[in-house]
Amino acid sequence: MEKKNLFEYIHELETQMNHMHGDMGRLKLAVKELLEENQRLTIENEQLRRVLKKEVPGEPELTDAQAVEILADSDLHNHPYPEVVGEGYDNLARLYHEGFHICNVYYGHLRTEGDCLFCLSFLNKSE
């Protein structure tokens, strides 16, 4: 190889390595985001399973299908939340007490750090 061709070849390799480095960085970021979402969904799934499988002393543990069927057939008005505004308020209060945000900032996300002032403010406005 001539010196000029060798220099061009090294330059091409360097350019390809830079592209590969950029691709690797984007791939690592995508994997990180997927792992974080997977962890969040795993926690949310576990919390939903606990809500669905509230164990009653002396009764056998329910399967997932049985718990879903019971929730689907249950009367939403037989719960400990106040009947202030109506069914919409009841549903939001139930979601909040099950561990989910109902505020416009984080609606539907799992509450991982205790009570949310935005959600509580929203519930108090509805009363």
19 is known to lie in a ligand binding site: no
- The predicted-structure confidence for 10-44, as pLDDT tens digits, reads as follows 999 999 999 999 999 999 999 998 988 888 888 88
Beta bridge pairs of residue 100: 110
Mean pLDDT over each residue of the chain, to the nearest integer: 77
- The amino acid at residue 19 is H
Determine the average pLDDT of the residues in 95-118: 85
As given in the structure block, the two tokens for residue 18 are 């830079």
* Torsion sign across C-alpha atoms 6, 9, 11, 17: negative
- The predicted-structure confidence for 40-64, as pLDDT tens digits, reads as follows 888 888 888 877 777 544 455 556 5
In angstroms, rounded to a whole number, what is the distance separating the alpha carbons of residues 31 and 25? 10
- Residue-wise over 55-84: b if at least 16 C-beta within 10 A, else e? eeeeeeebeeeebeeeeeeeeeeeeebeee
103 is known to lie in a ligand binding site: yes
Beta bridge pairs of residue 13: none
User: Residue 57: its pLDDT value, please?
Assistant: 44
Q: Is the pLDDT of residue 75 over 60?
A: no
Task: Write the CB contacts of 64 (distance below 8 Å, at least 6 apart in sequence).
Answer: 49, 52, 53
pTM, full prediction: 0.40
- The predicted-structure confidence for 113-126, as pLDDT tens digits, reads as follows 888 888 888 888 75
In angstroms, rounded to a whole number, what is the distance separating the alpha carbons of residues 76 and 22? 52
Please answer whether residues 38 and 30 qualify as being in contact, where contact means their C-beta atoms are separated by less than 8 angstroms: no
As given in the structure block, the two tokens for residue 106 are 């984080």
